[in-house]
Structure 1
């Protein structure tokens, strides 16, 4: 292990993140009753400039008026290059509510962007005597952000998670995208010709590098990596496949904008009953070995190594959080 210890972000479930338009208060009740782990109010691109002030007020009222249960509550602020961001933070954080847990910083380009938000948030929290310390979700959705992702991930002790914004990212790098978060049939390889001269085409995942890079930067700094949206609501199998690819690469969750996508995300990013049972067996084997002098642990006649133990600890901790959420819902 490195001499530099990694401080892990505050533990929280982020399997599913529900995108809610802050200028559409008629959707808030269903969001509060949804299965989402995180509810994120959108005040950025999808809210027109002349509706942003009312959208902020809607968020304040929603945080106070609805029972959000065990959900983590987030808000996507406007970009630092707009005249709206400071009011997003001032209006919400000076309001009489501490139910907001996170803000999502869009289009982060470098560490200075995170520092700028941190300074303003820290001043407001101190001035208002806020007890609930705000965490930062950070969107990587530009070439600059991806190039500087390591410094961004390490920029603040408030950092909670990194999120890939496929739509803007594709535009930034000029990628040829068919479906946001989905596959492109042109991204494929051809096999050699068989005896009949036939060549088979195998699709690849055009998001593989971006997601892998995001995962590495997040994990290296104790943060959660979260995949962004899959914007074809009619293609549930496509959503599931995209979520599974992200999960295999190390992501903890995925965005969506309706209850079916939240159910799918929770399913994909939750450990199976069998995996949890096996993880508990690994931990018991490690505990048994420690109780008799700390010798090498074995399970089913095979040695249990530290990476297995660490993976088991993480999996069991997640399973316990999921069970706790079920208990309190």
Structure 2
């Protein structure tokens, strides 16, 4: 199973807000997506496509993954979003984000259309996909959605629309209005996370709408990271640093992973299947955990010998 790409932070940027493009391109987000869906008024969604294409073509995005969130495939805009954005941006587009996926067929539909466009225009790369699971049907079919296409890099837990689909009584940060014992979204989060792990792709946590509450955002991020999520949406640039920090292993975790790997390799060279570090067992399971930690730390982190 390959290591999922770094997706610690995914910054949402409305495709109609041209003043935000330069700042988004220069940000430290692992991925920036230009939004054609919920952040855009219906009357402006077709016009927003051209603005997204110009932003992708005209700005230097550095190493940031360049993405566009299309409209749901159940709307009148989806096919036009895909055709106009892919044909307009070409190699300057890395990923499409598909919202409100309810079944594998939703991903399949986008995959087939992308394949046809790529072949027709002779695109020299494959456009990747990320999928939002934000509906009760999507939660129920999370595994089949996550494994529907080899284009998929991540599945994203969306609490906002899921609140509506579920009929949940929550506040504007999608937290329960009444006292609730534990994580209100634990079941849905774990369905999304489990599906991602089965598919060998990243799992991204939901946005936190109140960007003036950094403590609340960090609390949400730490809870998701503890479960195993790879990153979290940011609806404001001020949230990027927190996401990058929370979803990156600490220096102590990285150092421990390196030591465990080095000790295990040395033991392995002596014909042993396990060893100890600081009085604690290190076996094959700990090696896998160490490799996962170092993978999450980024490609610049050495795994040692």
Same fold (TM over 0.5): yes
Deviations 1:49-104 (A, max 9, x none): 33223211111111111111111111110111111111111111112531211111
Structure number with greater Rg is 1
Q: Distance in 2 between matches of 1:169 and 1:235?
A: 22
| Cα distance in 1 between the residues matched to 2:5 and 2:215 | 27
Q: Note if 1:267 corresponds to 2:259.
A: no
TM-score by length of 1: 0.88
**What aligned pairs does 1:233-272 form with structure 2 within 5 A after superposition?**
233-272=211-250
1:17 is matched with: 10
Q: In structure 2, do the counterparts of structure 1 residues 96 and 18 end up closer, same or farther at CA, with 3 Å as the change threshold?
A: closer
Q: Distance in 2 between matches of 1:142 and 1:208?
A: 15
The runs of at least 4 aligned residues of structure 1 exceeding 6 Å deviation read none
1:107 alignment counterpart = 100
Provide the rounded CA distance (Å) in 1 between the counterparts of 2:298 and 2:284.
21
CA distance in 1, matches of 2:229, 2:297: 16
Corresponding residue SS for 2:299: helix
Q: Aligned residue pairs: how many?
A: 302
TM-aligned CA deviation for residue 8 of structure 1: 3.5
CA 101–8 in structure 1, closer or farther in 2 if over 3 Å, else same: same
CA contact (8 A) 2:273 2:284 kept: no
Which consecutive unaligned segments of at least 5 residues does structure 2 have? Answer: none
Identify which of 176, 182, 188 aligns with 1:184.
176
Q: Partner of 1:188: helix, strand, or coil?
A: coil
TM-score of the aligned structures, taking structure 2 as reference length: 0.94
Given that residues 19 and 255 in structure 1 are in contact (C-alpha distance below 8 angstroms), is that contact kept between their aligned partners in structure 2? yes
1:185 Cα offset (Å): 5.3
Q: CA RMSD in A?
A: 1.6
Q: Which residue is equivalent to 1:3? A: none
Q: Spell out, residue by residue over 1:205-258, the C-alpha distance to the aligned partner (whole angstroms, 9 max, x if none).
A: 211111111111110110111001011122111111011111111101001122
Closer/same/farther in 2, CA of residues 139 and 288 from structure 1, 3 Å limit: same
Pairing 1:282-321 to 2, within 5 Å after superposition: 282-321=260-299
* Cα distance in 1, alignment partners of residues 295 and 144 from structure 2: 28
In 2: Cα distance, 1:257 partner to 1:166 partner: 14
Whether 1:144 and 2:137 are equivalent positions in the alignment is yes
SS of 1:68 mapped into structure 2: coil
Gaps of 5+ in 1: 1-6, 190-203, 325-329
